[in-house]
A and B are shown apart, each in its own frame.
Chain A
Amino acid sequence: MLNSSSPGAEGSALARIALPAFGALSLLAIWQFLLPWLGVPKFIVPTPAQVALRIAADPYLLWQNLLPTLIESVSGFFIGNLAAILLAIAFVYSKTVERAYFPVVLFLNTIPVLAIAPIIILIFGIGIFPKIIIASIICFFPTLVNMTRGLDAVSANERELMHVLSASPLEIFWKLRAPRSLPFLFASLRISSTACVVGAIVGEWIGANKGLGALIIQSTFNYRSDLLYAAIILSSSLAVVIFIIVTTIERRVIRYQ
């Protein structure tokens, strides 16, 4: 008679959605009512309602600035990760290449993006291209490290199995190393999915007249804090959407575990 599946499971499903929603709404409510009560002016911190009104009032302006950031982030994501994957393959097949170039790459990675960004802008100008480069630089390193580890995460027995089966190097790559590396690759793709947006925005801060980064700088200088907050919400939404796409693909590709 005891039906364990209905009340318990339903309760937890409700809790999974309702509790975080309640948590977020309660904080928004405190923000909405506490700030005016404390006397914080709206050009310093707007209330959530004012931000929502700004988004509703200026959808075209926001879209115009979202689009370049979107293009830069996604292009940077693809270019940076692809370059990292290719270099990782070179590293795995040639220890000489790895020994020669990994320390250099490691050193370059220690330079903060904020320091590299002006150099890139200086070289490539103000267009969309330098932002794509900055976004791809940010994606590059985690994927290089993870992918090198992933391609090498092959046990001695697995290698011996392939040898006994007389597998060719290409077969060993596609049937063993590549599938082995996928969980490592996706771990870094999840990092890149949000980092690429950061890269694009940092690039736009340094020099751009379009994009969410440029909008953030302009609205800060003009004390248009409702627009500033709207731009921030859009940039984090962009990162979240890319993240969700990556994890959805990951769940489809990696069906074991």
Chain B
Amino acid sequence: MTTGLQPSPEVVSTTDSGPLAIRARALDVGYPAKGSVNLVLTGLDLEVREGEFLTIIGPSGCGKSTLLRVVADLLSPAAGSLEVFGDTPAAARRRRDIGFVFQDSTLLPWRTVMENLRLPDEVGKKARAGRSGAEGPDAAELLRMIGLAGRESAYPHQLSGGQRQRVAIARALLSRPRILLMDEPFGALDEITRDRLNDELLGLWQSMKMTILFVTHSVMEAAYLGDRVAVLASNPGRLRELEDIRTVKAAAVGPIREDPGFVQSMAHLRAVLRTC
């Protein structure tokens, strides 16, 4: 047991310093109801450093997706503040700092794989005119990275669910976002495909050095992917616990998913979730 808790400073330091990607202060978010506001997220304080992989887990209605939607400028805070790189979410969105991957791939069915990938290059030209050109992989290179080279002229309905989600991730990465928001992206996939995509995502994250906020219903996925796991409670949605599991994973011997220290972390997360 004790070996699993051995600190591993060099891993920790990569995301404990560096600029803040996201800072939420006393954040309240709600949807307008009759005459008032229905709060789905209350009093959230959260800081995410650039380069961090934060997974978010919690029961239905705890505001997991809501949080992503505020960062993506799809919803506005009712109270409190949320900054993205010290700026408003809207400014970050216009700079193309934000990429979003939905649970359904949201590929446009009339576009081929390549045409779907290139959508970010075709729209929003006016908004991102002033953006400092971050150099990233082009569409063809992204297609190779997700293992779909040769399928550029396939239509989405000709792909498997896992392949569609890979294309959706590649599309989000095309404009080289500094923050990738993922809303249960693998929730509809079978477990084998999901495990493989988890490893592929970790590979992309390490090679492209971005910040990821990843919402999931799976404790295993949350613990396996995240540097930290944010556990949200519902009614009203609020942050219950922030669990740092980098040290546990850094100390793991053999496959992480079977490491005793990792299994113990998952058990702890499950115990917290039961109280949410």
Contacts and interface: CB of A to CB of B under 8 A. Distances in A.
Contact of A166 (B99, B108, B119, B123): B123
23 contacts: A157-B102, A158-B108, A160-B74, A161-B102, A164-B74, A164-B93, A164-B98, A164-B100, A165-B96, A165-B124, A166-B93, A166-B94, A166-B96, A166-B128, A167-B123, A168-B123, A175-B119, A175-B122, A179-B108, A179-B110, A254-B110, A256-B110, A257-B157
Interface of A: 155, 157-158, 160-168, 171-172, 175-176, 179, 182, 254-257
A167 B119 CA distance: 10
| A-B pairs, 4 with minimum CB distance | A166-B127, A166-B124, A167-B123, A171-B123
Given A164-B93, A175-B123, A182-B110, A256 B128 contact: no
A94 B45 CA distance: 40
A155 B106 CA distance: 9
B104 interface: yes
Given A163-B74, A164-B93, A166-B94, A157 B120 contact: no
Mostly, the A contact residues are: helix
A163 B104 contact: no
Nearest to B112: A256
Contacts of A165: 96, 119-120, 123-124, 175
Interface residues of B, number: 28
Contacts, number: 68
A167 to B, nearest CB: 4
A167 B128 CA distance: 10
B123 A162 contact: yes
B34 interface: no
A173 B100 CA distance: 21
Interface of B: 69, 72-74, 93-94, 96, 98-100, 102, 104, 106, 108-110, 119-120, 122-124, 126-128, 155-157, 175
Contacts of B124: 165-168, 171
Contacts of B102: 157, 160-161
A161 B74 CA distance: 10
A171 B122 contact: yes
Given A168-B124, A171-B124, 14 more contacts: A157-B104, A158-B106, A163-B73, A164-B99, A164-B100, A165-B119, A168-B126, A171-B122, A175-B108, A176-B108, A254-B110, A255-B155, A256-B155, A257-B109
A164 B126 CA distance: 14
B100 A160 contact: yes
Contacts of B108: 158, 175-176, 179
Nearest to B96: A166
Given A157-B106, A176-B108, A164 B72 contact: yes
A175 B121 CA distance: 12
B64 to A, nearest CB: 15
Kindly name the residue among A161, A175, A182 whose own CB sees the greatest number of chain B CB atoms within 10 A: A161
A123 B218 CA distance: 70
A161 B127 contact: no
B210 to A, nearest CB: 15
Nearest to B181: A164
Kindly name the residue among A158, A164, A167, A168 whose own CB sees the greatest number of chain B CB atoms within 10 A: A164
